[in-house]
Amino acid sequence: MKIYGLKNCDTCRKALKALEGAEIIDVRADGMPTDLLDRALLQFGDALLNTRSTTWRGLTETDRAQPARALLLAQPALMKRPLILRGDDLFLGWGKDVQAQLIEG
Q: Write down all domains in the chain, each with its CATH number in brackets.
A: 2-104 (3.40.30.10)
Q: Which helix (DSSP H) or strand (DSSP E) does residue 15 occupy?
A: helix 10-18
Residue 90's DSSP bridge partners are: 85
* Residue 12 annotated among the catalytic residues of the structure: no
Amino acid at 39: R
- Beta-bridged to residue 83, according to DSSP, are 4, 92
**Adjacent-strand bridge partners of 89:** 86
If pLDDT is split at 50, 70 and 90, which confidence band does 105 have? low
Terminal Cα distance for the chain, rounded? 14
Report whether pLDDT(25) > 90. yes
The per-residue pLDDT for range 35-78, each reduced to its tens digit, is: 999 999 999 999 999 999 999 999 999 999 999 999 999 999 99
pTM of the model: 0.92
Largest CA distance in the chain: 43
pLDDT, one tens digit per residue, over 78-91 is 999 999 999 999 99
Q: Which of 9, 40, 83, 84 is catalytic?
A: 9
